[in-house]
A and B are shown apart, each in its own frame.
Chain A
Amino acid sequence: MNKKRILLSCLRILFRNWLNTLFMILGVSVGIIALTITFSIGKGTEKQVMDNVKKQFSSNNIYIGAGRGQMGSGPMSQGPISTLKIEDLEVILNDVPGIIMYDPVQWLPEKEVIAFNNNVTTMIKGRSSEGEIIWNRTVQTGLFFSKSEEKNASRVALIGSKLASVLFVNTDPIGQQLRIGNIPFTVKGILEDKGVDAHGFDMDMDVIIPITTMMKRVMSVDYIMSASLLIEDVEQMDDIVFAITDILRERHYLNENETDDFSIMTPVEVKSVVGDMNKVFTLVLPLISGIALLVGGIVIVVMMLMSVSRRVSEIGLRMAVGAGKRDIIFQFLIEASLVSLFGGLLGFIIGVIGTKTLSSSMNYTFVVPWQSILLGVLLPVAIGMIAGIVPAKKAAKQDPIEALS
């Protein structure tokens, strides 16, 4: 008995029955294509979202949002909640140890901004001068607004580089005027480039103005939408979250039966929320593709069974000339595995090409993880082996006398 010779003989048989072989290969490759693409999209999306999260949340930030809303839906979804105040943050900074600074945030997602004859509808964010540190975003040219400008609710603005080129075209925007609604502002600086945030907003189109100016002059409100706190030590995160919760509940006069009218997010929670979203990509989609692969396996079982019936006389002959039952089983398992392997490799190659094509056409990065090469090789071979068992056993049970008569 010589395994290498049987293997060669299998290859020849597969080649000679190329139409059958092709059908089985295609059956498997469809599943593997689906699996490779969905797996890559899942991994790519996960990486992209995680990169964005890292861009916006340093690990020692705590985020307080007005209202019960989760990060994923955004505080706006429950309508404006007017209970979170800058005074709350002042008390928290004074009473809770381990907090370095805070940055209150108020924002309008769509507001008209005008300069010269150009106007753009974009996002206006109100922040404190500490926002430069907390959000880890400073200016690339010009200056960030100062503490005194914040105190005086000065009409100064920082703008993203893309917005600058839309509004001012070739003019240097620093020192120029722009209007937010009817209120004139002086451009103080161009913000560092940050790209797209986790919600899909292009941060290079941002306008950032002092939080006080935002609240008094633009929105006429006395409350804020959210705040970020910078803490000294990540280890204290849980204690600080408890302390903040107590203070806010007390200051907002919430009794025991009432739920929080604010939500506190830590980077750990942000990651887990994002992770949950990504389970759709990394688990559910591949699961569906897995069903496609199962169909591929069934195609192999059916076609191999047909092949066994068609080759009864060949099997009988092989037995007569000295093939043991084990040799016959080996032969059919190898045939099924080879077909699956070819199908897997073909599917993997098409899947990778498909992923690349999708990435470039959707301007989105999909990662083909190295693990998926296992997907393209080991998984199909395993499926082939399993799919080959039933036909191989059927073949080995063949009575050579009946087969040869």
Chain B
Amino acid sequence: MIQLKSISKIYGKDSGQEVAALQDVDLVIERGDFVAIVGASGSGKSTIMNILGLLDRPTKGEYYLENRAVNTFKDDELARVRNKTIGFVFQKFHLLPKTSAIENVELPLIYSDRKKIRGLAIEALKKVGLENRASHRPNELSGGQQQRVAIARALVNEPEIILADEPTGNLDSKSTSEVLSIFRELNLSGKTIILITHEQEIAEQANRVIRIHDGIITEDIRN
């Protein structure tokens, strides 16, 4: 599914003070796996998440996604791959304000070729148990509900991969367990889940835990 070959990301090349956020990282993630990437802030885990999510390009190395060398793709091709293959969930939810839940969920479909987008969006909301909140705006929903809307948005275009960056960082413990159980269900239905976190107990929910420190993978274990 995902294969990184000696990926490096180096910042500050122009100023001469080079900082390597990632150094020759090799990583393979299988289809249908549930992986947690764990590290402290500044460890490089955000960088690896951005590269995996095709939001950022590595300074060097190769990235194969479903056997395509996506490190050679142009920006607009990458946008299309993100649209079809990857669903993002963020710590701060990033829902559009003043916009109903259903329209927020529809957002990725605007940039797709899918038809009957309203129906697909309702399906996605059902999967997170919020079909009766479809017309609510983000400010009318609790934090946990907002994150579930965001998960529905990540699901709506049926991507293979869900990439979640600290998805429970802004949530109380009840909402945290709700969100994590949604991820587990999604994983059981065949989705590949990549969870980035700094919390050990969250990481323990995953099948595989990859620990990253100073831009290098230091540990890679299966629970």
Which residues of chain A have a CB within 8 Å of any CB of chain B? 1-2, 5-6, 9, 12, 16-17, 313-314, 316-327, 400-401, 404-405
| A2-B112, A12-B99, A324-B75 given; A317·B94 CB < 8 A | yes
Within 8 A of A (CB), among B69-84: 75-76, 79-80, 82-84
Is the C-beta of B108 less than 8 angstroms from some C-beta in chain A? yes
Q: Is B50's beta carbon under 8 Å from chain A?
A: yes
The chain A residue with its CB closest to the CB of B95 is A317
A-chain residues with CB within 8 Å of residue B50 when the two chains form the complex: 401
Contact B55 A401 (CB under 8 A): yes
In the complex, the answer to whether A12 meets B110 with C-beta atoms within 8 Å is no
> Known interface pairs A321-B111, A321-B153, A401-B56. Does A5 touch B76 (Cβ–Cβ under 8 Å)?
no
- Total inter-chain residue pairs, C-beta < 8 Å: 71
A9-B110, A319-B79 known; 9 new pairs, CB 8 Å cut-off, are A2-B113, A16-B99, A318-B107, A318-B111, A320-B53, A321-B108, A323-B110, A325-B79, A401-B56
| Chain B residues within 8 Å of A319, by CB | 55, 79
Chain A, interface SS category: helix
B83 engages A321 (CB within 8 Å): yes
Query: B109 — which chain A residues lie within 8 A by C-beta?
Result: 5
Chain B residue nearest to A7 in the complex (CB): B110
- CB-defined contacts of A405 to chain B, threshold 8 Å: 46
Check A1–B111 contact: CB distance below 8 A. Answer: yes
Least CB distance, B99 to chain A, in whole angstroms = 7
The 10 closest A-B pairs by CB, nearest first: A322-B83, A324-B79, A321-B108, A324-B76, A322-B111, A5-B110, A16-B98, A317-B94, A320-B88, A400-B55
> What is the CA–CA distance of A401 and B165 in the complex, to the nearest angstrom?
12
A323 partner residues in chain B, CB cutoff 8 A: 79, 110-111
Interface residues of B in 104-134 (CB under 8 A from A): 107-113, 117
Cβ contacts under 8 Å, A9 to chain B: 110
Interchain CB contact under 8 A, A313 and B110: no
Which one of B79, B94, B111 contacts A404 once the chains associate, using CB atoms below 8 Å?
Answer: B94
11 contacts between A and B (CB under 8 A): A1-B112, A12-B99, A16-B99, A316-B94, A318-B107, A322-B82, A322-B83, A322-B108, A325-B79, A327-B111, A401-B50
Contacts A319-B79, A320-B53, A320-B88; A2 near B94 (Cβ below 8 A) = no
From B80, B88, B94, A324 is in contact (CB under 8 Å) with B80
Give the residue name and chain of the B residue nearest to A4 (CB): B110
Q: Is the CB of A314 within 8 A of B56?
A: no
Bound-complex Cα distance A5 to B109 (A): 9
- Which of A1, A314, A316, A325 contacts B75 (CB under 8 A)? A325
A145 to B79, CA, bound (A): 91
B19 within 8 A of A: no
In the bound complex, what is the Cα–Cα distance between A320 and B49 (angstroms)?
12
A8 to chain B, nearest CB (A): 8
B96 within 8 A of A: yes
